[in-house]
């Protein structure tokens, strides 16, 4: 399964970045974060350095990726470098008498920066560029949204396929392996993260890794999974119970379902990230369970499984149409387990659109 992005999308992203560069008085931007290189050019190799100017762009790769970059990279000149990509880029910068250079301080190590400064030579003024590209990535274009929508649909389909296999005696590891196998078989590039299967008391750990533990009677089981399609991730969580839930568990599950639905309703253009978090917490507090909600309500999703914005307490970032976020309230009780419900949600022009359409009502497996 693949959602093709038109070359015009990459050119448009480069032009939006150039407009930001002009606003911030940046003539050249060195891009070393490979996720950002992919976002801007379409190049998916594991090594490459992009230098973007206000009118031109250059992509340095080693010989392993020359042909691939020639086919994938849009809007830039591909330069093959046999003696180290960053040293080659640095020499080009020095040779062309660059006087000012912006760089991604979050992805360039101290050792790489020293190497850059040494090899480039000359009287160059280096400027940290901040998070210009990450800010652009907050709002997805049509191709990105279609890829995430496809990843969400595939994730929901795989969860539906795996439910009949959820039974007493099966191991968490086996369920996780089966989920990731089915993702690839159904057309995904792979899993967006290590699939989480946590049962019984282990379900009280929000990010438990699957273990050799076997599922048992009267246990909660958390499934946190997501597929990658065309480089873009989806993220969803569902919780099931083996046996007949107690009245307390029914109340817990109902509270989380209501909290998640209430928070999703707040996902719209101009809503602040903190508002969404507050909506989930208010509903859980109304039911007396807010103290068991120990993490933020969600995060952005795209080329990376965790992107901007963060949906947490006090976050003032406002969502914009085209943003994609998760909404995932949960409650976790030591010795009992946990309940989390999560969807990937698009901030659409008509309101929120759930991109992970797996049912939430069929949670009791008797």
Domains recognised in the chain with CATH numbers: 7-137 (3.40.350.10), 142-365 (3.90.230.10)
How far is CA 359 from its chain centroid?
22
The Cα–Cα gap between 200 and 191 comes to 24
pLDDT at 118: 83
Q: Give CA separation, 83 vs 90, 120, 128, in Å.
A: 12, 15, 26
Give Cα 283 to chain centroid, integer Å.
26
pLDDT along the chain (366 residues), means of 10: 85 97 96 98 97 97 97 97 92 90 92 86 88 96 97 98 96 98 98 98 95 97 98 98 97 98 97 97 97 97 97 95 98 97 95 96 93
Measured CA to CA, the distance from residue 223 to residue 175 in angstroms comes to: 9
Q: Cα separation of 203 and 239, whole Å? A: 9
Whether the Cβ atoms of residue 201 and residue 333 lie closer than 8 Å to each other: no
Tell me the C-alpha distance between 300 and 140, whole Å: 11
Q: Please tell me the distance from the alpha carbon of residue 97 to that of residue 122, in angstroms, as a whole number.
A: 7
Q: Name the nearest CA neighbour of 238 among 354, 66, 88.
A: 354
d(C-alpha 344, C-alpha 298), whole Å: 9
Tokens linked to 117: 């400064």
Give every CB contact of residue 129 below 8 A, 6+ residues apart in sequence.
Answer: 24, 26, 29, 102, 103, 104, 105
Task: Find all residues with CB under 8 Å of 140, minimum gap 6, and list them.
Answer: 148, 302, 322, 323, 324
The C-alpha atoms of residue 283 and residue 254 are separated, in whole angstroms, by 11
């Amino acid at each position: 399964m693949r959602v093709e992005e038109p070359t015009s999308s990459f050119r448009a992203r480069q032009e939006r970045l150039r407009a930001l560069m002009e606003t911030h008085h940046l003539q050249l931007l060195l891009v070393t974060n490979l996720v950002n290189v992919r976002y801007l050019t379409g190049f998916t190799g594991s090594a490459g350095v992009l230098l973007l100017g206000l009118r031109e762009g250059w992509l340095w790769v080693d010989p392993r990726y020359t042909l691939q970059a020639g086919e994938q990279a849009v809007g830039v000149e591909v330069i093959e470098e046999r003696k180290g990509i960053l040293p080659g880029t640095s020499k080009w910068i020095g040779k062309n008498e660059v006087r000012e250079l912006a760089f991604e301080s979050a992805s360039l190590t101290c050792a790489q920066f020293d190497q850059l400064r040494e090899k480039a030579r000359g009287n160059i003024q280096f400027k940290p560029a901040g998070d210009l590209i990450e800010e652009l990535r907050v709002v997805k274009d049509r191709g990105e949204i279609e890829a995430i929508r496809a990843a969400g649909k595939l994730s929901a389909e795989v969860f539906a396929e795996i439910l009949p296999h959820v039974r007493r005696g099966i191991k968490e590891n086996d369920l996780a392996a089966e989920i990731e196998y089915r993702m690839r078989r159904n057309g995904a590039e792979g899993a967006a993260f290590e699939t989480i299967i946590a049962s019984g008391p282990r379900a009280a750990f929000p990010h438990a890794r699957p273990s050799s533990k076997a599922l048992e009677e009267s246990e909660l089981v958390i499934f946190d999974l997501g597929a990658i399609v065309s480089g873009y991730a989806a993220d969803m969580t569902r919780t099931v119970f083996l046996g007949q839930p107690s009245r307390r568990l029914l109340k817990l599950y109902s509270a989380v379902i209501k909290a998640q639905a209430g928070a999703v309703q707040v996902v719209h253009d101009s809503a602040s990230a903190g508002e969404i978090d507050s909506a989930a917490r208010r509903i859980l507090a109304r039911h007396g369970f807010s103290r068991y909600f120990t993490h933020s309500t969600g995060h952005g999703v795209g080329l990376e499984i965790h992107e901007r914005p963060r949906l947490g307490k006090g976050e003032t970032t406002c969502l914009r149409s085209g943003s994609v976020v998760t909404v995932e309230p949960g409650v976790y009780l030591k010795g009992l387990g946990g309940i989390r419900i999560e969807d990937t949600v698009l901030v659409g022009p008509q309101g929120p659109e759930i991109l992970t359409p797996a049912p939430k009502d069929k949670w009791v497996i008797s």
